[in-house]
Amino acid sequence: MSQGLDIALERERIPRAEAVVTRGLAEFNRENCGRVDTQTLDILVRDGKGEIIGGLLGRSSLGMFFLDLFYLPASLRGSGLGSRIMAQAEAEARRRGCTTALVYTGTFQAPGFYEKYGYRRFGEIACPPDGATRIFLSKSLV
């Protein structure tokens, strides 16, 4: 069955490959769940020149909000901006019908930030650097 196929590791995302995989998964989900509703949910922070300097990258899919990446420059941390971004992202996720939010972070990153907003740990796994762990958190949005 797999004769004549080539399997290759790619170091950079190929837009056409992403489109093929996304389309295939969407069709699978449609056949098995009756719907495809994956949407980007990004909230970006721009400076006075319009340059992106940070923000939250996420997506909603099948009733879940996936917070994929969140970064703010050190100069903006502790200013309340992160709270505003989280509130906006969760409000949009709820508007889309999401009932659960998911995120993972490292012990050296921001687990306390997410816990402050009601996210609860449901898993942890050791990862580099030595002594660190990757923490998986979720939050009910209902």
Mean pLDDT in runs of 10 for the chain (142 residues)?
85 92 88 84 96 96 95 93 96 97 93 95 92 95 96
How far from 95 is each of 38, 43, 91, 107, CA to CA, in Å?
14, 15, 6, 31
Residue 128: per-residue pLDDT: 87
In a domain, 12, yes or no: no
In a domain, 10, yes or no: no
In a domain, 20, yes or no: no
**Phi-psi group of 112: left, alpha or beta (phi > 0 → left; psi -120 to 50 → alpha; rest → beta):** alpha
CA 131 to chain centre: 24
CATH number (domain holding residue 129):
3.40.630.30
Parent domain of 103: 36-140
In a domain, 57, yes or no: yes
Residue 1: per-residue pLDDT: 64
Residue 30: per-residue pLDDT: 86
85 and 56 Cβ atoms separated by less than 8 Å: yes
In a domain, 56, yes or no: yes
In a domain, 18, yes or no: no
